[in-house]
Each structure stands twice: as C-alpha cells, then as structure tokens.
Structure 1
Amino acid sequence: MGAPFDFDATVVGAGAVGLACGRALARRGLTVLVLEKEAAIGQGVSSRNSEVIHGGLYYPTGSLKARFCVEGRRALYDFLTSHKVDHWKCGKLVVATRDSEVERIEAIFQQGLANDVEGLEHLTGAQARALEPELNAHAAILSPESGVFDSHGYMLALQGEIEDGGGTVVTSAPFEGAASLPDGGFSIRVGGEGAMTLTSRLLVTAPGLSAQDAAARIDGYPANLIPVRHLGKGVYFRLTGKAPFDRLIYPPPIPGALGTHYRKDLGGQAVFGPDLVYIETEDYSVDPAKAAEFETYIRRFWPGLPDGALTPDYAGIRPKLHGPGEPQPDFQLDDRETHGLDGLMALFGIESPGLTSSLAIGEAVAERLT
C-alpha cells in the first residue's frame, strides 16, 4: 500500500452536477473535496437556466439523458421535500399551436411513454384551454410530473450533505491540473490565494463550460478524445404584469434545444426563454431588441401578450457538444474505458436536462468509480 491520499475523491466544479457527484461519493463513506473556481457555488450553467424539473419526454430511448432525467427527477422531488427546498410540481403542457404540429407532439408523447414518464395525457385544444384559458392550442400533452424549483437552495442542500459527511467545498480554488501518481491516484494542482498541491485517489471533472479545459489540464488525457465545445447562448425575458398560466408551456422543440417556453417562477412572475444562438466567446448580455422576436414566437401560444410587456432578464450558456444543424448527442461520462486513466471520470456536454438529472448522474459516477 502506498501513502494515504489527502482525499479519497476530488470533484472539479461546484455546480449542481459536481455537488451531486460529491454527495454521492460522500454517501459511500469517501472523504470528498469539491473545487470551485468562482467565489461561490453554482455560478455557471447551474444558475443561468430555467430552473425546470423535466419529466423526461424528449430524449432517445435508452440514452443517458432519458434514463438520468427520469431517475433524477424522481430522486429530486424526494430530495427537495426532505430538505425543505422550495419547489412546485406545476405540470407542463406541450402544445400544438397549429394543426401541422399535432403529429410532432404525438411523437413526443410516444417518446415519453417509451422513457417511462408517468401520467402523460392527450388533451384536445378545448381541454387544454379549460386548464389554461388564455392558451392557443389545437392539441396538447399534459405532463403532470414537470415542475420548477429553487436551484440555488438545492445546491446549498447538496453542499450541506457533503460537509455533513466530512467533505469540503472550497471556492475561489481553480483547478490548475493533475497528473497520475505511480501507484495510483492523482496529484492535483489548485490555484488561487490558497494555491496548493494535493493527492486524491479519485478525480471527477464536472465544471460545465470548462469541461474541455479541465480535461486538457490532466497529464496523459488523450487530446483527440476531448470533444469539441460549442457555446449555445439563450436569453430570457420577463413579463411585466400578471402571469397568464400556472403550468409550464412548451411549444414543440426547435433544432438543437427545447426552445422558448413559458414558466411561472416561484415568485409568481412569468418568464419566457431561452432561444438558442451559437457564440464563440462567453457573453451574458441580453439585447433588448430581441423582445420583438420573442413577442412573435410567444403569441403563437399566447395571443393575448400585450405590446411592450417583455423586459430583458438574463442569459445562460449551455456546454453543447454539437454545432448548428448537427444531431444532439448524449451526455458523456468518460472513464478509464474511454481515456485510459484509472480513477478519473470526465463529464462533457452536461446541459439540459442536466439539472433535473444531477442526482442520477452523481449516483452513476460514484457507482462506476467505487
């Protein structure tokens, strides 16, 4: 036996997925360190999204996205309830705003059934309007298991579980690199004011937008196996005035994403978004001129949207593994079988439904490493 390690497991990235990985490892009795380059947890992808709990309707049968979304969603509601994190199982309507879209939402219904999503119902337009009178719908699918939640409260609860299990979450601690040790495990270089080098038996990289950079900083990681990163930016607009619907409202998906949808947030306000634009560098600005484009799209399902009622809110960037016009790939959880480095799990492309899937991703990572 070699000398003991400073930590059994080190996780890079303290967003929802990194923290869920840390929790799952800590629950198995491991000493866990989570490194976060920002000054607080959850400042990246995890804090700039729709805060939606997805049912699991859209993803190809047998994919990690389909499996982890359904498993993660079931676990998430239990976790939120037991930790008293604010959430609302409001349900979702996937709407056909014209006859030509009915066939598309039927395909989503069938995919949801194949993915074991509970409680799905076909609704006529009249039935959908009985639930949401201001809605334009020729037909709809009701997914009662969808909801919204306080993602930051969730991440704080995950951090609390890690720390209760003897683990540590360190912020302002960027991952500078790692190298395999001769007898197993890793030497890990941490930057920031408290710069140090530590040893860890296991290493998980889950830093969202920085996933490719983190992998490239690990000595011996095959460069040809690091997938190309594409930045998918989406902006959100908030409604001035009373929220028109209680349920989530989703038109059929757009190429490469679920598209602009509606949610009533936990504060009771209406939020619309995101769209999808591919960008080259991280940019979180919201162009107010996009309001006109959003108005046109939203009026397909809410004809009563008043003129000038949308105000710019925020933007998010998703770590996509596909570019414009390319098929949407699955989550990547790459272990030794892929990259050849024992004890390392590198996560790539953890975008939607990554937040909903986070507990299931964490469990899968811990199971494969321990």
Structure 2
Amino acid sequence: MYEIDTAVIGAGAVGLACARALAMTGREVVVLERAGAIGTETSSRNSEVIHAGIYYPAGSLKARACVEGRHLLYAYLEAHGLPYRQCGKFIVATDEAQADALPGIAARARENGVEGIEEIDAARARQAEPQLSCLAALHSPVTGILDAHAYMLSLQGEFEDHGGAIAFHAEVESVEAGAAGGVVHVGGDAPMRLRAREVVNAAGLQAPALARRIEGLDPAFVPEAHFAKGNYFALSGRAPFSRLVYPAPEQAGLGVHLTLDMGGQARFGPDVEWIEPGADGTLDYSVDPARGDLFYDAIRRYWPALPEGILVPAYAGIRPKIQKPGEPARDFVVSGPGEHGVAGLVNLFGIESPGLTASLSLAEKVISVLDGES
C-alpha cells in the first residue's frame, strides 16, 4: 500500500489549486482524477469569467472567497504571463422592476468589498456600448475573463514542480476513514490502495456521491446533490460589445448573459435547466437547438438588434447544486474535521460559480481547515 501525506480527489480548477497549495507546504500530494485529463467537467464548461463578487450574501464564504480569490487570481495570471483581460461588465435593467433592484445590488457589492461599482443611466451605458438597450445599469470595472485551461495547466505544472503527481483514470471507489487518516480505494486502469493522512474531496459534481462512500463519515454531513444544466449558444458574427453584459439576476442563475472569450468571440448563456442523471448515473451535456428560441427572446431585451439565425449551439455545463429547484441558493461548503469529526478529511460541496474565480482562496481555506485554524 502506498503511503502519502495528502490525496486530493478531483483535478478541476479547485482541486488543482488545492493540490498546488498543499504541495507548496511540503506535503507529498497525489491527485486522483477519474477522467483522462484535467478540468473535463465544470471547470471547462463555464463562462471563463473572473467575477467581482457582486451578488453573494454579505459575510458568506462565496462572497469572501470570490473577492479574495479575484485579487489572488489576477495576481497569479499576471505573474505567470497567462492570458486574461479585465474588460469590465454591465449589469443591465430592462424594466422598471429590475431598475429598482440595481441600487440594492450595488449596495451588496460594496458591502462585499467590490471596488469601483457604479450606477449609470441609460445614456451613459449606450455611449459606452451603442448596441445596448436598457433603462439603467451597473458598471463593474474589475470583472474580467481568462483562459481557464491555460490557468489549470499552470496550476498542474506548479503542482508537479513541487513533487506532486496526478493519477488519471483513477476513480475513487471508497475511503476508509480513521484516526490516522484514510485508506483510499482506487479503481480504474490501475487499481490501488493509498493510505493518506489527509483526504480532500474536490470532486465537483460527484463530491456528495463520493462523500457517501467515505466509511466513518456521518451521512448527515453530506448534502443532497442536484444538477442544473447551463446551455450556451455562440454568436456566428462579430461581437457587438466590448464588455460583458449581464441581465439582472434571476433564480438559480445570472440570466442569459453575453460573455467574450480571449479571441473576442461572443457567447450567450448559461440558462437554467434542472436535470437528473440517467439510469447509469451519467449527465447529459447536449444542447437542444430549440432552446435557441428562448435565447433570442432573452437577449433582445438588452440587444434588440440581434439578427435572426445568428446563434448556434455551443456547449453546456452543469452546476453542482446542493439545493433543490426553487430553494434559496446555498453557500459554498468546506466541511472539515471541526464539523464532521473525521480527522484529516475535507469535503467541498456546491462549488459552482464563482468557484473558478475563488479557487486560490478556497485552496487557502482548505489548508487552514486541515491545519486546524478554521
């Protein structure tokens, strides 16, 4: 049986950030990833936005980790020469009710420590973005975009430079938790057992299911998993905006927004489509072209000149929700020994957006939990 300091389960952005940070403390760390590459699920199927920290309840882990993580992420990208652009974002109100809600959103953002948030009228918004139609807007100058895969490759490289290793096609079947750490049973291409003093469950969509396979962990500390698909459509023509454009927030998501990639191409989404796993446990990532009709209606509220027939299905991502449809959004959960009583075990649940932005901050949180500091 192999013996190591720490096993990190999951090689998405958060798992890689945790593994890198742990390896940099001098721990011997192995990442176990059931897929054949890094970041194949949530981390590679999102908007690649560096979020400001606007929407989340004051004092929540989401708010703190997003704002702190944004600072850490910009500094990391700059220091490592990775592609990003601090392009800014407009949150637009297209009816009176949304306009009335903007001051509250701005107040929450300021309470969360978001810098530079500004309320602007329709004339100023249109001066900046001539194709935009709205009654009022919020401007977030610190919002940006990045190349998520380049970021994850950099995390992987630093992790490996500090002695870490990633085992691909290594699905964790179960964990036997005990006072001296856990015995991790790994299936896949090369079945093995690892004895790890610490186990970090950063399995994203599968984190709750994995946690239920940890012997010695009370199931009361494992939330129920729910899945919300977000479909994206790409714009086949040139992007008409230089900034990101978001409608006012809606239940379970941030509406059908316009984002830009590092090449300047526009994409729209995600919407919110609650789904259930198939009989074999798989999740459906296909994009139904018929949903495009709903996209046209939503986008034309803030871009009335959107031509017909210009949107094409792009891709879908799935949010790892820990609340049911219609329930209030839940905070990130970083559950450690101080909560569940299992030595050396940290579970991360519900790490949806802004998980990419918050990844470096969440990694620091995981280390502090393992070290008994929080």
**If the TM-score is normalised by the length of the shorter chain, which range does it land in?**
over 0.9
2:287·2:316 contact (CA, 8 Å) conserved in 1? yes
Q: How much has 1:5 moved relative to structure 2?
A: 7.3
Identity of aligned residues (%): 51
Q: Deviations over 1:229-249 (max 9, x none)?
A: 110011000011110101010
Q: For residue 238 of structure 2, what is the aligned residue in structure 1? A: 242
> Which range moves more in the overlay, 343-352 or 93-102?
93-102
**2:333 equivalent to 1:332:** yes
Q: Which amino acid aligns with 1:203?
A: V
Q: Deviations over 1:92-140 (max 9, x none)?
A: 0011112321121211100000000011111111111111010002111
Q: For residue 25 of structure 1, what is the aligned residue in structure 2? A: 22
Q: For residue 102 of structure 2, what is the aligned residue in structure 1? A: 105
Q: For residue 266 of structure 2, what is the aligned residue in structure 1? A: 270
| Count, aligned residues | 366
Q: How much has 1:306 moved relative to structure 2?
A: 0.1
Q: For residue 229 of structure 1, what is the aligned residue in structure 2? A: 225
Q: How much has 1:22 moved relative to structure 2?
A: 0.7
Query: How far apart in 2 are the matches of 1:268 and 1:110?
Result: 31
Q: For residue 365 of structure 2, what is the aligned residue in structure 1? A: 364
Q: Deviations over 1:191-238 (max 9, x none)?
A: 112111111111100111100111011111112221111100110000
Q: For residue 310 of structure 1, what is the aligned residue in structure 2? A: 311
1:204·1:344 contact (CA, 8 Å) conserved in 2? yes
Greater than 3 Å deviation, 4+ residue runs: none
Q: For residue 146 of structure 1, what is the aligned residue in structure 2? A: 143
Structure 2 SS opposite 1:204: strand
Q: Which amino acid aligns with 1:250?
A: Y
Query: How far apart in 2 are the matches of 1:180 and 1:306?
Result: 57
2:2·2:193 contact (CA, 8 Å) conserved in 1? no
**2:96 equivalent to 1:95:** no
**Equivalent runs, 1:136-175 vs 2, <5 Å:** 136-175=133-172
Query: How far apart in 2 are the matches of 1:82 and 1:10?
Result: 28
Query: How far apart in 2 are the matches of 1:325 and 1:289?
Result: 24
Q: Which amino acid aligns with 2:86?
A: K
Structure 1 SS opposite 2:166: strand
Q: Which amino acid aligns with 1:245?
A: F
**Equivalent runs, 1:43-82 vs 2, <5 Å:** 43-82=40-79
2:169·2:188 contact (CA, 8 Å) conserved in 1? yes
TM-score w.r.t. structure 2 length?
A: 0.96
1:17·1:354 contact (CA, 8 Å) conserved in 2? yes
Q: For residue 86 of structure 1, what is the aligned residue in structure 2? A: 83
Structure 2 SS opposite 1:262: strand
Q: Deviations over 1:232-289 (max 9, x none)?
A: 0110000111101010100111111112100121121110000001111111111111
1:241·1:309 contact (CA, 8 Å) conserved in 2? yes
Q: How much has 1:186 moved relative to structure 2?
A: 1.4
Q: How much has 1:335 moved relative to structure 2?
A: 0.8
Q: Deviations over 1:299-356 (max 9, x none)?
A: 0000010011100000110100111110001001111122210110001000011111
Query: How far apart in 1 are the matches of 2:166 and 2:154?
Result: 12
What stretches of structure 1 of length at least 5 have no aligned partner?
none
Q: For residue 193 of structure 2, what is the aligned residue in structure 1? A: 197
> Which range moves more in the overlay, 97-106 or 266-275?
97-106
Structure 1 SS opposite 2:214: coil
Q: For residue 343 of structure 1, what is the aligned residue in structure 2? A: 344
